[in-house]
Amino acid sequence: MSPIASGLRAAARRLARETAELRFGPPVTHVYRPLEYARRPHELYLERYGATEKRVVLLGMNPGPFGMAQTGVPFGDVASVRDWLGIAAPVGRPRDVHPRRPVEGFACRRGEVSGARLWGAIASRYGRPDSFFRKAFVANYCPLLFLEESGRNRTPEKLRKEERAELFAACDRHLLRLVELLRPRWVVGVGRFASERARAALAGSGPRIAQIPHPSPASPLANRGWDRAAWAALAEAGVCSARPPRRERLRSGG
């Protein structure tokens, strides 16, 4: 294992420890911690694709119930992780499972739209994972999934102020460590929340911050052609070209 991947693994384990005992009150009734029960596929992802320094880090918000909560991989739509990233490994179970949100690991038959859109857009432009991960990486800011009694996903920004304080402090430290290891020129928030947290956590630390729309089906913009909107936002920020004549390669400069 490379020193960088080893550092990422140690940082993930530290984040898991620091968030393990945090407690969250109503309307949150269940908290899933995939860095614990899906550690094996998560660490395979770090070892395989986080072994070198990167030019760009795409930063998501937190696990989705049919994505990272199932596979341990950011934006971890099962089919995308298994078939394109080539990762599959045993997954355990959360301490307290919501009856409407079971964790079935790679046996889960439900897809995650956000993950399928993100990895699908990357695959269509880069072809092979190695071409993308040569200069880029995908991570999540927060490692926890929050569920309400109905099974509805509650996003981190909607937690109570005192709950956010401890959680965000741990997540900020982890993001700083990730940047120290990967040394990116750009951190691109996938959605407003991620870009705002990146600006807060990384102020003065070096990387430039950009933002692309979130691929969630809850977003009307995403449903009108998310991949085009995302590449256009990256091009406008100067991260990459909008319409490359060949397979996309993240610019080596700037």
Burial degree of 23 (CB within 10 A; 0-12, 13-18, 19+): exposed
Indicate the SS3 state at residue 51. coil
Question: Do 116 and 80 touch, CB atoms closer than 8 A?
Answer: yes
User: What beta strand segments (E) does the chain contain?
Assistant: 28-32, 56-60, 136-140, 145-148, 186-190, 208-212
Summarize pLDDT for 92-142 with one digit per residue, the tens: 999 999 999 999 999 999 999 999 999 999 999 999 999 999 999 999 999
Mean pLDDT in residue range 31-37: 98
If pLDDT is split at 50, 70 and 90, which confidence band does 11 have?
A: very high
Domains, in order of start, for the chain:
3-236 (3.40.470.10)
Question: Do 194 and 61 touch, CB atoms closer than 8 A?
Answer: yes
Question: What H or E segment, with its residue span, contains residue 3?
Answer: helix 3-20
Summarize pLDDT for 175-215 with one digit per residue, the tens: 999 999 999 999 999 999 999 999 999 998 889 999 999 99
pLDDT at 249 over 60: no
Identify the pLDDT of residue 244. 56
Residue 194 CA to its chain's centroid (Å): 10
Identify the pLDDT of residue 220. 83
pLDDT at 252 over 70: no
Mean pLDDT in residue range 161-180: 97
Identify the pLDDT of residue 254. 43
Question: Could you write out the DSSP letters of every residue in 84-134?
Answer: IS---------SS--TTS---GGG-----HHHHHHHHHHHHHHSSHHHHHT
Mean model confidence pLDDT for the chain? 94
Identify the pLDDT of residue 234. 95
Identify the pLDDT of residue 250. 54
* Residue 185 CB contacts under 8 Å (≥ 6 apart), including other chains: 55, 56, 207, 208, 254
Please give the single-letter amino acid code of residue 171: C
